[in-house]
Structure 1
Amino acid sequence: MKTQIEENGIVTLTNQAAAQLESSKMWNEDLRPTTKKEHSWSGMNFSTLWIGMCLCIPSYTMASGMISLGMNWWQAILTIFLGNIIVLIPILLNSHAGTKFGIPYPVFARMWFGSKGAHIPTMARAIVSAGWFGINTWIGTTAIDTLLSSSMGWENVPGHTAIVFAFFWLLNVAIGYRGPEAIKVLGIIASPIVGISAIILFIWAMTHVSGGFGPIVTEPSKFHSAGEFLKIFFPSLTGVIAFWATLALNIPDFARQAKSQKSQMIGQSVALPLTMTLFSFISIFVTSATVVIFGEALWDPVTLLAKFPPFVILLGTIIIVIASVTINVGANLVAPARAAENIYPRRITFGIGVIITGLFAILMQPWYIMSNFGNYIFGWLGVYGALLGPIDGIAIADYWIVRRRHLALQELYQPNGRYNYSSGFNKNSIIALVVGILIPVIGYFTPGLRFLWDNAWTFGLFIAIAVYTYLMRNDSSLLKPGEYESITMFTDPKSKDESAATL
């Protein structure tokens, strides 16, 4: 029986198949595959989403940390550009699955971890997201608190920081509660506002530094050999990759609404690396100018804004709120909300998942993570990069190598379907995950193998790809030759021929 329809490379369930799944405990309105009408995101929507998420305080200060570790300006920019190009690859590979089959990340994970085992990668992603939510909520809180205190005596109000935190936390949760469409609108609003603000800041710096670029731009690297540079370069590169490694996993949550593969690929490929690189350059140039203008390097945009008149500070505060909310909601609330929802789809909605994430984030310690850059790039980013790299590898191997982009969509929502594996767990993915984590960890404790840990995300990804591909080569969950054609109704005969050729 035909259970799915493929049209222009996008697969949807037939009305009959969808009706049969409505009573399944693995199905609800948020986790179900998107319909043809819901594939509405254009390339511009993906571009504004990424621009809005990239233009934030952590992105602005990323280059500063590398320069403080000894890099010159172009070494820091190059590291950031390369890291974003590298992480863009798994983002696009996983986006393809979300776009083609219209499935969110937790359902995508069922395919390679099993109906119950999917909780392992989704909760791993959720915990990291909750940590990021706490970090960005804390950054936004301290920024708003500092700016208000510098312009209107806010520091004299009892409990002023707690008031700001409560307001900012509620604002993030309220927007996230409304779902991905609200995030789409937020990105459309935020991108031009924050982008134009960054350009204005750059122009201000240029007009106040005559006859040069400031000492930071002209300062040479502190490394005297390639070996010294590489000791800092590789963990910094891993940190840049890990910055968006979370989105590389749950990007299907957004890509499932793309109009086509072309729209999501072009929108993301242009916006992510270019925005991060240009914004980092602006931060370096502006900070270099502050040495000339104020006599000290002001890497923190909040500290810089505090030097301006009250009206400018007020506008800057609004812009920082918009920027912080955009990345916090888009990057840090969707995945954990979906993970919570996937635990009990019949009772937990996306909105309830957002609230759970917000409450969990309060229990974490973002103030310690952000207390110094060493904790941030070598601790937080390094550790979760080591965890998420193997998960990315398993996802890529399963969809592109093992299954060759063919699956039975209906069975992802059936408790006893082919993706249930053994009691809901795919032991092969668990083995690949453990091996992909353990080998880099060995490098952490072995001085001669330290490069394994410094590049934990990359090594973990490729190790997991190799192990998982080998273990799954004859798995019973794979579609047999001709089976995809037997369950799929093709609206374009050419699509059927192309699908058959890949099996």
Structure 2
Amino acid sequence: MSDISDAKLEEYRSRGYSDDLLPKQESDRTWGQLNYFTLWQGSVHNVPNYVAVGGFFVLGLSTVSIMAAIIISGLIIAGAMVLNGAAGSKYGVPFSMLLRASYGVRGALLPGVLRGGVAAIMWFGLQNYAGSIALLIIIGKIWPGFLAIGGDTEFLGISMPGLIAFMMFWAINMVIGLGGGKILNKFTAVLNPCIYLVFGGMAIWAVSLAGFENIINYVPAKIQDGGGSLFQFFVVINAIVAVWAAPAVSASDFTQNAKSFGAQARGQTSGLILAYLLFAISSVCVLAGASIHYGTDTWNVLDIINKWDGMFVSMFAGLVILMTTISTNATGNIIPAGYQVAAVFPKLNYRQGVMIAGFISVIICPWKLMENQESIFMFLNIIGGILGPVIGVMLAHYFVAMRGKIDLDTLYTKPGDYKYYKNGFNMLAFVVTIISVIVSIGGEFIPFLSVLSQVSWFTGVALSFTLYSLAVTWDKERHPELYTHTQ
């Protein structure tokens, strides 16, 4: 772990950087292994992930294959989070500033804005709307008359009860986001036992009704032709891992708080592996068991709990599922967005960045965006296809080019002084990123690349890491001064 002096922090403040963007001193890095163990649990157990598992059944994979793919994905995700969070845990620097090391002071703005300013804000709005639908169902169970408020009146395409539920859920998410890591840790500490209770209980319920042997042998009514192949197995792993492309890029937003690299490495690894082990068992058992029991393929856990007779049990399960959505939204969306807005406008602090990001997430009317889901997810897949190569470049730059060392003065430079990289752009990183993006998502438009696009995250990360590692090794011989400004 590298510490920084008070004098150096004052120098960086004089250059116009807010305290939220400054490197954290060793005394302020208080997150231990338990904090990181609990951090991502809610991000694993949420409604979209369970729906995705239903899609894996349709691909023709067996229940055992799906479980194996989920567990392997957990190992890969843990590796990506730990490795790309290494610089954050060493220097106490957030992602938006760390990105400058590999792309340059000005060059960092583009991938940073795409991750924290576009993908995160858009996903924040969409997740809030998806969560508000579930909240509306729960409120309707308790107070049926609530659903009739406003009659047929609509505001910008959403009913009055829908708008109230959306703003309620948005406000809860904003409170967690404004509180940052400290509030999030307290929230996840309460959430985690509930996750194991609800999803573990649902798995036991499903097995008791359908029988474990029937669940293992379960085959859905509709299966995609040609499914069940080894390649489809890797497509499933890619689909699970690709969901984490954005959080993995900005892992240092959370590892900057770590007591040590070991604390975040052990915590994230054990937490994600255990979470995905439970998810592998519970998702397959719950979805397959419920489908067998109800006689129809059921992929949404909210549909399942809505069929339960017990009011208290269904309400409790619904609230826990809503809490997992909040946890996902905080860790993956609003916190990175807050830091990125502050990085683009250094005079703003993190909380102001969160408020701006939250306001934008409302005015884009996410309920209107969800009317055309195909275009939304194509756009978000493109963003994900860009972020995979960004991870590869960041890892190659930190571990291969700089040998795990960063000069903080090059990150917290004076306005207009770009240290190294001409005009503040690392063109080598941009060229490698562009090539990798074309290859990883080009299959959407170029038929002979379609196989690579089906495993786009792996393609993007592996290709960009390899190309950048080779390129900087060659570039070091020509411009050694670019790689000696380390501390």
Quote the residue 1:408 is aligned against: 407
Quote the residue 1:155 is aligned against: 147
Quote the residue 2:26 is aligned against: 36
Cα deviation, 1:468-495, whole Å, max 9, x if unaligned, reads 3344332455443xx75xx6xxxxxxxx
Structure 2 distance, partners of 1:265, 1:166, is 37
Structure 2 distance, partners of 1:201, 1:31, is 42
Cα deviation, 1:92-121, whole Å, max 9, x if unaligned, reads 111111001110001110111111211111
TM-aligned CA distance change 1:87 to 1:389, over 3 Å? same
- Within the alignment, does 1:77 sit opposite 2:78 as a pair? no
Cα deviation, 1:128-154, whole Å, max 9, x if unaligned, reads 222321232122111111233244314
Which one-letter code corresponds to 1:72 in the other structure? S
Whether the aligned pair in 1 keeps the contact of 2:388 and 2:461 (CA below 8 Å) is yes
Please, what is the CA RMSD of the aligned residues?
2.6
Deviation at 1:20, TM superposition (A): 1.9
Quote the residue 1:132 is aligned against: 123
Secondary structure of the structure 2 residue equivalent to 1:37? helix
For residues 9-158 of structure 1, what are the structure 2 equivalents within 5 Å? 10-25=1-16, 27-126=17-116, 127-153=118-144, 154-158=146-150
TM-aligned CA distance change 1:83 to 1:369, over 3 Å? farther
Cα deviation, 1:58-85, whole Å, max 9, x if unaligned, reads 2222211111232221222222223332
Cα deviation, 1:263-304, whole Å, max 9, x if unaligned, reads 111111111133124224212212233245433343212112
Quote the residue 1:495 is aligned against: none
Quote the residue 1:194 is aligned against: 195
Structure 2 distance, partners of 1:402, 1:45, is 31
TM-aligned CA distance change 1:380 to 1:149, over 3 Å? farther
Deviation at 1:366, TM superposition (A): 6.6
- Structure 1 length normalisation: TM-score? 0.85
For residues 349-368 of structure 1, what are the structure 2 equivalents within 5 Å? 349-362=349-362, 363=364, 365=366
Structure 1 gaps of 5+ residues are 1-9, 488-503
Deviation at 1:323, TM superposition (A): 1.7
Which shifted more, 132-141 or 357-366? Answer: 357-366
Whether the aligned pair in 1 keeps the contact of 2:53 and 2:299 (CA below 8 Å) is no
TM-aligned CA distance change 1:323 to 1:139, over 3 Å? same
TM-aligned CA distance change 1:232 to 1:371, over 3 Å? farther
Quote the residue 1:286 is aligned against: 286
Which one-letter code corresponds to 1:135 in the other structure? L
Quote the residue 1:204 is aligned against: 205
For residues 241-320 of structure 1, what are the structure 2 equivalents within 5 Å? 241-308=241-308, 309-320=310-321
Structure 1 distance, partners of 2:352, 2:306, is 37
Which shifted more, 73-82 or 34-43? Answer: 73-82
Secondary structure of the structure 1 residue equivalent to 2:3? strand
Quote the residue 1:344 is aligned against: 345
The aligned length equals: 467
Secondary structure of the structure 1 residue equivalent to 2:27? coil
Structure 2 gaps of 5+ residues are 151-159
Quote the residue 1:494 is aligned against: none
Structure 2 distance, partners of 1:361, 1:476, is 44
Which shifted more, 355-364 or 173-182? Answer: 355-364
